[in-house]
Structure 1
Amino acid sequence: MKRKILLIILIVLNAQLINAQENKKNTYYLSSELNLGNYFGVDYNLNYVFKNNYSLKLGFSGNVRKPKSEPEDFSGGLNGLFSVGIKNPYDHLLNYRIDFGKIYNFNPEGTIRLNFSFGIGYTIIKEPDNWQFVESDTVINLAENYTYSYKSYNTLSFTINPKIEFPITKFFGLSVSPMLQMNKDRTYFGIGLGTMLGKLK
């Protein structure tokens, strides 16, 4: 009788151990987001989650905004209007980063989780400068009424990115992610809405 009870206990414990190991698989996936904050843009990441516990993320974000240095009377002219802002000047904030994180599951199924990550980034700041007014010879201004040149410089950033992830299936999910990027020259803060594709759970 004792042997039967011991055998049942061993089978139950072994099943629990196997189940726990199944729930601790390594996962990897791609994520992309649209960002909106004091800049707007996109964010792309390659994610690796170790044993559903720790995360590693390699990412790139590209964000733009209306130039802070832009003259009040700047006009893109008709060319700028028809190009839908493509030729208009922007402040650019580009960031290549590596983040380390911790996974917190909000339910046993793992369909809602927090991937709290932080890291460092190599940031490229590119902004228009040296604005020079240009007189127009026509009544309707076809071109921009200012010339300008871009200045560009690099710096290191610290990033904080607590991302709420919703792995809807094993291969597809959605995410909501506040982000803060700080460096000695510029700060980005905003929120991203995105998708996840890959081995999610």
Structure 2
Amino acid sequence: MSFTWSYSDADSQPQTHYQLVGSKDNWASVAYDSGEIPSAATSHSFIPSTTGQWDFRLRVKDGMEWSAWSYRNDLNMEHSFEENDEASEAFPIAYQTTYTTVISSATDLDWYKYTPTSSGIDRVTLTVPTGKNYDVFVFDSTMKQIAAGSNGTGVNENIIFEVNAGQVYYIEVVGVGGQFSTLTYGLTVNKLSISSTTTYQYDSNGNITGKTTVTTRQ
């Protein structure tokens, strides 16, 4: 998505900074923030992390002070990551961010890619629309399938797999049997964190009589 604007200043001072901010919940929270960018540019491009309705506001600086915010409301973002129907068009994603969009037709496929910065175990979760059956597949840099999630209708996918730092991994989301919906799905990649807590039981003399270990995956 690209925003453009016109700049003028009563004192003929040039623009030195700008900032673009977006919200999906009527400004209860901020979903996108470009930060204060030192630039005289009058356009800014970015890809929204989710589809749906957005509100945006923009302000600029003339080197001395910031302008008031200018607002553009109720913009509908559809199919945020298209075109990504093939592995060669895979949209780059990052850890700990949920990407929401739609499978828009019976032939729509959504491809994503990311590069782990450290080796270990990663987890991909896919939340699916009610009443729909979507599957998710993971491939390594040679396009060898290394993991798959293929639960039934209305059931979210949750898969784990081993990764190596610096290697590109591809993720494909498909509607089983050509299923699609105007409702969004959500895709998230995280490092798998495993922690264990052990609690010991003692008798009245201080002797260990038992223990309980709880293992948590996050």
Do both proteins adopt the same fold according to a TM-score greater than 0.5, normalized to the shorter chain?
A: no
Would you tell me which structure has more strand in proportion to its own residues?
1
Of the two structures, which has the highest relative contact order with CA contacts closer than 8 Å and spacing of 6 or more? 1
- Structure showing greater radius of gyration is 1
TM-score where L is the length of structure 1: 0.23
Would you tell me which structure has more helix in proportion to its own residues?
1
